[in-house]
Structure 1
Amino acid sequence: MEKLLQLVQLLRQCGVKVGSEETVALVRALMELPQPLSVEQLKTVSQAMLIKDKRQVRLFEYLFTAVFSEHEIDDKADGCNSLVPLEIEGASSDGKGLAQQGTGNGSKLTYFIKIGQFNRAKAIVDREVDKVSSELPLEEQLRKVKVRLDWNMEKYRLEKEREHLKDELYMKYSDQLINLENNILEKLLKNMINEGNFSQLVELSGMLDLTKKSLVDLDKSEEAQIRREITGIGRKLAVKKKRKWKRSSRGVLDLAKTIKKASNSDGKIIELQYKQHKVSRPNLFLLCDVSGSVATYTQFMLLLVYSMQQSFKKVRSFVFIDDIEEITEVFHKGTVEEAIANLKTRAQCSTSGKSDFGKVFNYFCQRFLSELTPKTDVVILGDARNNWNNPQADKLEEIRNNCRNIYWLNPENEYNWGTEDSVIYQYKPYCRQVLECGNLEKLVHAAKVISS
């Protein structure tokens, strides 16, 4: 009971509205259930009784785990005799052998994940968390732990290995890294709660806002939640159609046109002029990069566009890496979710596996340019990292001259645009807007701009 009341207090400190009535109702509900209750049953009932906004579910899960987690890592379960040593077992004294992947804790994390000893990787995480002061702001604690673990470098290494791993294996390693990231925050919260330091909890709600989390960093449950959000948002956007005025024999009085007409007859109003709204639905050509991690953003973008396809007269979809292929027909067979799931195996849009935007735009001009009209909007989703190839910006200009607008959606943060092999600023002059789309909030904003 004491821990349950502590959970309620923590939820309140994080901005969740939990009144006395909800707390009493929860206690009564728990007392009526067969005893003893498992932790999972307690979690299910507590969530159902206390959480009314689905956006607060993730916050509840973190706090519940921090309050009710009583069992530390049992390394013997993984066949270990002690906590992870500074040197990985199996490494030779000259730095070669099993540990040659790297010297930082990040390399050790991946090593233990790959050999199926997740608990030992978690032990490294717990140890590094304990070295960071809980007096610091929560976000700063998280940043310091990730620095100590070489977190960003480890994610980069795993992404580089992607082309050498089977998809199932890559997804397994990636999901386990995401699980470790969740463990970092859970451990930080547990330390703060144990020390009675609740001043940083107010940050937690903002940090756990899924709409601001990178789409490529979502775990499976978060991804499912974001997909549901995207589908609902897409349907709402579909209702908001583009409108412009047109002349009509009835409708709203067009005062400007009436006065202009009167000027031709010495200021005498002989005939009233009217106007009505005309619904405008442009054609949409959607070009999506499916190389590397950008493929994840493409899946969410396709889901959003096809959820709001009523906003457009016709949607045609294309995927590309260093070649381009139309996939419109794929979405006419089965559900949108099924089409997206099968996208990677069906699409044949690469010979080298490396992005070449210039070549793609050249191929597009050769094959599809004649099908563009002044009522067509072209949306391009890609990071514009061209692997030092010729960007052929003149081909994008040619596309721009044959359509109404080009919108470019870039999943990278703007401060990375134009760095290394990014050629986004060579393409930007030919785009009506270049927008970030790295998380749900930015993706939805981009969709609103396109459909407005």
Structure 2
Amino acid sequence: MDGWNFIRLVHALRQASLSISSQDILDAQTCLQRFPDLSEKLVAKAMFIHRPKDSSIFETVWRILVEDSPLNERGPKEEKTKIAASEENQDNVGIGGQGVGRGLGGISLTHMGTDVNTVDISNQIPVLRLEELMCSGVEFEDVVKTVLAEMDYYTWINSHDLAYRRGALSEEEWYIHQDSNASLVHEIRQRLLTVQVSCENCWQPLVRQHWLFKPLSTLSEEEKDLVKSSIRKWARKLAVRPGPRWKCSQRGTIDIARIVQKSVQWNGLLFRLSYRQRIPRVSELVVLCDVSNSMAAYVEFFIHLVTCLRDRFRKIRVFFFIDSVWDVSDFVWDEDLDGVKQEIRSWGHKISLGFSDYGAVFKELVENKLRVVSSRATLVLLGDGKNNYRSAQTEYIAQISERVRNVFWLNPLDVKEWNEPDNILKEYQPYCTKVYRCRSASDLQRVVKDVF
């Protein structure tokens, strides 16, 4: 790998939200020089990737910079040939080669059997069509679905599913089909990312696909597991915070009084510095979680956050609410949260209409629950603030704010959505210590560092 490509690789990884230090760069250069027989990709990945969860970003960057030819470096003759071929195919055949619609040059998975070469298929897709889709302003996941639909992907998987149910496919053929299915979707996503990076001329598209920055509602199952494991780590930090008392320590704040006391033993000479640290204390926490219909896309992660907090905090009270409050502090939650989800559904059908009423909830808290809440407690509210045009009743959240030490509001909506007509957050914000946007793992990480 020459110096220019090495610099491009480091720059791209940093732009794609990966942390690469100067020491990492030095170690990579040393390894590349001392072990020229080793794969450059393996050396770079070993030196630059410190978390397995970042491997997918590295693979995408390496593919764009090294393996794939840059889209803007194709020769004019080659480009004209591809454009002419794609236009000819699009005129003759469309979706799945059926002669209808626009299609992707007549690419049809339904005629390719079970075992398909995903790389060859993706290379047959006209670049101009991908650029057109990526520049249309449609969300990335919707573009992926559009490309798959134009390839007859859904017909392909449904036909194999039906064949398997009828016994026409063996177990081995079915698993081969499943692997081909996953590989094809992955290949199409990589192809679209390459085109998107080229069109925007930056690495921001990769940042938007990183599990830390993707909206919680769009995560894959694997990415959900990453977020949940991170939430468990952050919950440990939330559970303990420095208290008002001090203890002797080997490092921390210099203890002037103790240094002076010890110096008396040696006629005023200072031989050793003394330090002190605050004694950790267990925080008191009250959690309010909105489980209404508008929070359906985010409530799973907020529930998991609450679950982790319940495991770490000894003094915690948890309330779910829609238009009334439900105390779940003593509810026994299972590992996969199926029990609590079912309980929410059954409780919501019995007690609520499914539409939030924050004013009524705060009123119920003040009248029935606030007296048992300590003045040293911190209130964490998880909700989108959509009040369905009902009365805000701000006097009740004012009483709550005076009662507890802090009120932190975590909102999954973008800041611009906080001022929509049916959103009541703007009226409650003056009574909150701080309001955060929390729609991704990076947002939650920032909240943990800032608040606790």
TM-score, normalised relative to structure 2:
0.58
Equivalent AA in structure 2 for residue 15 of structure 1:
L
Contact 1:417 1:425 in 2 (8 A): yes
Which residue of the partner structure matches residue 425 of structure 2? 424
Is 1:81 aligned with 2:98? yes
Distance 1:52 1:446 in 2: 23
Give secondary structure in 1 for the equivalent of 2:137.
helix
- CA deviations 1:26-83 (Å, max 9, x no partner) are 5999xxxxxxxxxxxxxxxx98999553242222454688769xxxxx9999976146
Aligned length: 332
Distance 1:182-1:388 versus aligned 2 partners, 3 A rule: farther
- CA deviations 1:262-291 (Å, max 9, x no partner) are xxxxxxxxxxxx997343333211011112
Equivalent AA in structure 2 for residue 325 of structure 1:
W
Distance 1:130 1:424 in 2: 42
Contact 1:289 1:382 in 2 (8 A): yes
Which residue of the partner structure matches residue 346 of structure 1? 343
Which residue of the partner structure matches residue 366 of structure 2? 365
Distance 1:391-1:192 versus aligned 2 partners, 3 A rule: closer
In structure 1, which of residues 7, 10, 14 is the aligned counterpart of residue 12 of structure 2?
14
Distance 1:204-1:147 versus aligned 2 partners, 3 A rule: closer
Contact 1:407 1:434 in 2 (8 A): yes
Q: Deviation at 1:346?
A: 0.8
Distance 1:129-1:187 versus aligned 2 partners, 3 A rule: farther
Distance 1:285 1:209 in 2: 31
Contact 2:412 2:439 in 1 (8 A): yes
Is 1:188 aligned with 2:202? no
Distance 2:216 2:193 in 1: 24
Which residue of the partner structure matches residue 146 of structure 1? 137
Is 1:441 aligned with 2:442? yes
Distance 2:277 2:193 in 1: 58
Contact 1:287 1:317 in 2 (8 A): yes
Q: Deviation at 1:404?
A: 2.1
Distance 1:342-1:296 versus aligned 2 partners, 3 A rule: farther
Distance 1:233 1:417 in 2: 26
Distance 1:357-1:410 versus aligned 2 partners, 3 A rule: same
Give secondary structure in 1 for the equivalent of 2:421.
coil
Contact 2:130 2:195 in 1 (8 A): no
- CA deviations 1:10-41 (Å, max 9, x no partner) are 96673387764888445999xxxxxxxxxxxx
- 5+ residue gaps, structure 2: 15-24, 69-88, 104-120, 146-182, 261-274
Distance 2:436 2:140 in 1: 32
Distance 2:294 2:36 in 1: 44
Identity %: 23
Contact 1:410 1:438 in 2 (8 A): yes
Contact 1:8 1:23 in 2 (8 A): no
- Equivalent residues in 2 for 1:236-275, closer than 5 Å: 236-238=237-239, 241-245=241-245
Distance 1:409-1:189 versus aligned 2 partners, 3 A rule: closer
Distance 1:440 1:149 in 2: 19
Distance 2:323 2:243 in 1: 37
Q: Deviation at 1:424?
A: 0.5
Contact 2:376 2:404 in 1 (8 A): yes
Distance 2:354 2:45 in 1: 45
Q: Deviation at 1:391?
A: 1.6
Equivalent AA in structure 2 for residue 146 of structure 1:
G
Q: Deviation at 1:293?
A: 5.1
Give secondary structure in 2 for the equivalent of 1:241.
strand
- 5+ residue gaps, structure 1: 1-6, 30-45, 69-73, 87-121, 134-140, 155-178, 259-273
Root-mean-square deviation (CA, aligned residues, Å) is 5.0
Which residue of the partner structure matches residue 411 of structure 1? 412
